[in-house]
Chains A and B, each alone.
Chain A
């Protein structure tokens, strides 16, 4: 469900092959994320542009994913309207670093303040 590419400077870019992160996939998502990022030492960027729906379980899985990075930020890109809504309703848009696209995230040095998201 998760494809990983690594840029030459060690940034991990995760792409989801899943368009719903919900109660049916949340557990699988968490496991996949931990596996994909177990050796990550640089930035972790996740492309969410394919995700058209996220429910409370999915949001909980995103928070669990963030926690598993042990202090490293989780940068999320390409939030669709439905995903954006759950982040804004819960004010999680201030917790993650958000970008319009992976290109925009890569053009940034990863130090963007969370409040500017």
Chain B
């Protein structure tokens, strides 16, 4: 179920009303059910992956810290996994419920074998020395999560790449490509659950015994499919403990939902057609077209993704749970390191804490630091999608970070003009990165780059004009972000006189209505 769908418009008030009526225990149970419904709306089979991931990480964390999983919990986990396998994969919800497919049977049978093996091996695991056991279960958790992610997201990518490589050597490889459907948001919840096991392993937090609450932490619907990627140490305590919902919180939540819908429906979706008209043109286009489409894509992807994060935060705030801020006006960045402190903060901080720092971070020789930066950004690029242009985008971001670091440009200029020029220059660099990100093929990257470098003979403009919602929305967004940046306060709008504040809300509602009357577009980050 997407935030910009009519279904969600019904779903949220129902969930909110039930939530207000229940106590903590039932609130969490209801939220877990709602989260599964929210996610299963796309495809109920994907739910099995979440259940599996939840069970593995819950058990692994307990084994890492305590060396045992209580008998009742073990039984509960086994039943949970097997029932989920039957319910979500075995049964055919699209047609005859009991017409179980052969693949469904195999999954159920496979799970029964895995569960049986886990029970058989359990006494042996308990006898391991604590340090060995901790390592083994960290490995099990990482391997299970990364295998799921790798299989569903990267299997075909690696097979295709290997085939291409082999074919360049003149060998014909038979295709092993599988018809795999990418589960929505798998990269987000996989990283979130991995952080839990790692934090327990690093003794940054204690594992929880409350399985259903942990399941809610993994599948909490506002941030399940496109983040923010929450840390267990931040989100889990909010799930485990009673929440209070204040009027201010609710108003802020509603405003964030409004802002998010404004960005997504009003701006991002309204610019999509213009961007596509160049990137999907399939024929030669001029440099002005490429520049315009890339700049519009910069706005589109920002509004699409930060809009989602705003709605996620707003929805969660309505439920009394604060999620982390994921964007802080990223295009006001003057340096790459500042950009990554403002763009997709939950991912960049995850990569910093669980990849960059363990690799050595900024310690050691410059060459090692550059290596760490490049590796982190390359993997960050690959996290976005199974395609070489994302890897290239990651490499480009890594290279910019290294170059700025090598040149010693880590601070913004003091003068206003200098700072503006610095921001403008960095925006151009960012936009080229978006060109790599949005391009449909390597050939297009080469073609567009060549045109930008040498194709200035053709100054025609064939890009489709943005819709009315896009134009009005873009102006309002610019005004809003300038005010926020200028005031340095995300709550600046609350200080406005009621008449102006009401006007701002009204314009946003109106732009959403204008945007809603265009064809709906899926959130870009769902594919990641």
B is a partner of A: no
